Amino acid sequence: SPQQMILSIPDLKDAGSAKLTEVIKNFYNDGSTNQITVHENTTAYDKYRLRARVLRDVSKVNPSTAVFGQNIDFPLCVSPAGLQAMAHEDGELATSRACAKRNIHMGVSSFANYSVEDIVEAAKLGTATAPIAHVMQLYTMKDRKMQERIIRRAEKAGCRAIFLTADSPVLGVRYNEYRNDFRAPENVKLPMLERSTMEVRSKTHDSNFTGFSEDAHSWTHEIPYLRAITRMEIWIKGVVTAEDVVLAREFGCDGVIVSNHGGRQLDQTPATIDVLQECVEAAAGKIRVHIDGGIRSGADIFKALALGAECCWVGRPAIWGLAYDGEAGVTKGLDILYEEFRRCMQLTGCNSVSDISKASLGVVRSDGP
């Protein structure tokens, strides 16, 4: 029936969310505290307008780009988000297969329900090597030995980079998790943390998983250590200011993900699209700048590129796809974003991603660029 047609990411959100229990839906969809940042991450994109160009030959449009030295179909990858088996039993394996089919890279959360080895393997689709790149997300952890084991496993599995999530020395305030007494189900595992959810629960539930995090973390404590023990690229995930981009440069990081953790950490941080420009300026072409948070359409991807991002990442859209229909649902979401982005390029007269610039954007509100 027409009501079931999935034409957009909001459609996928509705259809996917409808398949989840209230508790799990809230865990995935909600942000922290007053929900200001999670909401604004998406609505902020509406401030920017597209300057359509006409009578340009766009028959040979090419949305592909290179990320981690490897071509992907379009400038989008899937953010590392934990506990995907609560959305669909195939969890991160299904996400990995869908990313491989769409030829885009994927982040693996430390809270993944499948191992990095199995997730990378799932992307091989009949060939010997994974056609896409995976990156391993790490939290700053009290347990250095475990952190190092995760790094070694990621390296061995063939991961290209570490995403050090730097925005979580403590967890954000998540009312839904407190009210619902949210606990990951017993039947899902946390193989990167070498624990069952039962063990995590009994050890750290009172502090909401923060038993793993290192609140004494710092640039000097983390970055030289990581540099010394691995040759993978090191990216900082969770940066929202020019100051922190400058520090990432000074500490020799390879890139930053402009991210507010999908509005799940500090509420009332700005929408990531609104701080992208200051971060790009601070990077000054010396380190790479990617962005995530609130991206729900191909036009959003286009706007982020116009404001200087090299690539975008999405978290929840993949989860909604998983909830809706497993691997096929994720593929559906990624295909929607691909087609929308490609069409947006054509209607703005851009034949390659390098044609996308600030000249493609206008603004409708004074608090825009």
Q: Taking CB under 6 A as the rule, does residue 342 contact ligand FNR?
A: no
User: Distance between CA 261 and CA 167 in Å, rounded?
Assistant: 8
User: Distance between CA 79 and CA 312 in Å, rounded?
Assistant: 9
Q: Taking CB under 6 A as the rule, does residue 294 contact ligand FNR?
A: yes
- Among the listed ranges 8-16, 49-57, 287-295, 326-334, the one in contact with ligand FNR (CB under 6 A) is 287-295
Q: Taking CB under 6 A as the rule, does residue 109 contact ligand FNR?
A: yes
Q: Say if residue 336 is exposed, middle or buried (CB neighbours under 10 Å; 0-12, 13-18, 19+).
A: buried
Pattern 236-255, ligand FNR, x by CB under 6 A: -x------------------
Among 26, 79, 140, 331, binds ligand FNR (CB under 6 A): 79
Among 261, 288, 303, 342, binds ligand FNR (CB under 6 A): 261
**Is the separation of the CB atoms in 226 and 137 below 8 Å?**
no
Non-local (6+) Cβ contacts of 127 within 8 A are none
Among 190, 289, 314, 361, binds ligand FNR (CB under 6 A): 314
How many residues comprise the chain? 369
Q: Taking CB under 6 A as the rule, does residue 41 contact ligand FNR?
A: yes
Among 6, 12, 24, 81, binds ligand FNR (CB under 6 A): 81
Non-local (6+) Cβ contacts of 214 within 8 A are 139, 140, 141, 142, 169, 221
Residue closer to ligand FNR, measured from CB, 190 or 280: 190
User: Which string of b and e fits 10-46 if b means at least 16 CB within 10 Å?
Assistant: ebbbebbbebbeebbbbbbbbbbbeebbbebbbebbe
- Among the listed ranges 13-21, 192-200, 312-320, 334-342, the one in contact with ligand FNR (CB under 6 A) is 312-320
Element (H, E) at 175: helix 175-179
Residue nearest to ligand FNR (CB): 315
Residues acting as catalytic residues: 261
Pattern 114-153, ligand FNR, x by CB under 6 A: -----------------------x----------------
Give the alpha-carbon dihedral of 54, 60, 63, 64, to 10 degrees: -160
Residues near ligand FNR (CB under 6 A) are 28, 41, 79-82, 109-111, 137, 165, 237, 259, 261-262, 264, 292-295, 314-316
